[in-house]
Amino acid sequence: MFLVVTLGLIGTWQVFDQVQLGTKGGPSKTTVTPAYLSYNTSFKDQKWGQGAAISFILFGIIIVMNIVQRIIMRERTPKSARRQRRVILGSR
C-alpha cells in the first residue's frame, strides 16, 4: 500500500507529457504543473538556475509529503503487528 501511494504521489507531481502535448499550459496557464514550469523556464526562457531551483523545490515537496505519508501510515499499523514484524525480521 505504501509503495502504491508513494508512486502515485510522485507521478501526480511530475506530470509533464500530458500538459506538453495537450495544452502547453493553457488556457491562461491553468494546467501548468511544477515539472512543466521547470522545463518551460529552463529550456524556453533560458533561465537555467531558476528552472533548477523549481526542480529542487519539487524534489523537496515530494520528500516532505513522503515523510508525512510514512508518519500517517505508521500510526494506522497496530503496535502488536509492528512488534511481530520486528521479531520475524530480527530472527533471520
Q: Over the stretch 44-78, which tens digit does the pLDDT of each residue have?
A: 999 999 999 999 998 999 899 889 988 888 866 56
Split at pLDDT 50, 70, 90, the class of 33 is confident
Q: Which residues contact 52 (CB under 8 A, 6 or more apart)?
A: 38, 42
For the chain, give every domain's residue range: 2-90
CA distance 13 to 63: 11
pTM reported for the whole predicted model:
0.68
